Amino acid sequence: MIEYSLKVEERILHQELYYKESKLLTYTIKYPKFYSEEFALVVDKLNLLYRTKANVIIKTVVNNLYQQAMVEYEYSVANNFPIRVFEVYVDYSITYNKNCTLSLYFDQYEYTGGAHGMTVRTSDTWDLIRSNMMRLRDFFICDDAYQEYIITNINLQIAEQIAAGDDIYFDDYFHLVRENFKPNNFYLVDEGIVIYYQQYDIAPYSSGIRTFLIPFRKRIVIEPSCTLI
């Protein structure tokens, strides 16, 4: 067993943007900064990656929405409509940090007027020893059939939820689970692998981002370990 320490501190980028003395947009972007003596090289790699991604969001998403917000401001003023403040909010959650493996996800929320905003989730899982991102299939013994195993498991979970009275999915969820399955949409927790679907993928907006736990299971779903190369 390899003894190591991987610590994290939160970094926050925040600003309110104005136009003609009216606040048009606020953004808050949170991202992690890691520290580890044992995994110094991969930590430098991760810190550069997530700091760069945060700055890219400002240069692309925030700047584009600010331009849209100025256009909407002029339209709203001309038509005596209320001024809507746009928002970008990015937060992260570290879901697994042991066995030489790091897993985390980011939720990026954008509001541009209307009834509600939209949240998109992304995730990464890292092998700290090999300094590379892990794939979903890496956690399955039979990696050629892992998708079928997952999809079958998810449909069974949904059927159980519906039978229990939680009718929160689209009627054709059985087909949508397969159509909208994306191998990159996963992260690890202590109990196993969490597969997630974006808003509207398989259920209405009010149902949020749907998640499904695929438990670690011997000879089927592999739990990470600190195995040296």
Asked if 129 and 6 touch (Cβ cutoff 8 Å), the reply is no
CA distance 214 to 154: 8
Domains and CATH numbers, the chain: 7-133 (3.30.565.40), 136-215 (3.90.640.20)
| 45-56 per-position pLDDT tens digit | 999 999 999 999
Q: Per-residue confidence of the chain (229 residues) as pLDDT tens digits?
A: 677 899 999 999 999 999 999 999 999 999 999 999 999 999 999 999 999 999 999 999 999 999 999 999 999 999 999 999 999 999 999 999 999 999 999 999 999 987 789 999 999 999 999 999 999 999 999 878 999 999 999 999 999 999 998 879 999 999 999 999 999 999 999 999 999 999 999 999 989 999 999 999 988 999 998 865 4
**What residue type is assigned to position 216 of the chain?**
F
Asked if 108 and 56 touch (Cβ cutoff 8 Å), the reply is no
Residues 81/206/203/64 CA torsion (nearest 10 deg): 40
Please name which of 89, 117, 85 lies closest in space to residue 29, comparing C-alpha atoms: 89
Please name which of 27, 190, 195, 34 lies closest in space to residue 110, comparing C-alpha atoms: 27
Question: Rounded to whole angstroms, what are the CA distances from 38 to 94, 128, 148?
Answer: 19, 10, 38
- Half-sphere exposure of 21 toward its Cβ, with a 13 Å CA cutoff? 0
SS3 54: helix
Print burial letters for 41-78: b (CB count within 10 Å at least 16), e (below 16). ebbeebbeebeeebeebeeebbeebbeebbebbeebee
| 87-125 per-position pLDDT tens digit | 999 999 999 999 999 999 999 999 998 778 999 999 999
Read off the tokens for 116.
């509600």
* pTM of the complete model: 0.94
Asked if 9 and 105 touch (Cβ cutoff 8 Å), the reply is no
**What residue type is assigned to position 144 of the chain?**
D
CA distance 51 to 54: 5
CA distance 83 to 73: 6
Read off the tokens for 207.
């149902």
CA distance 182 to 135: 11
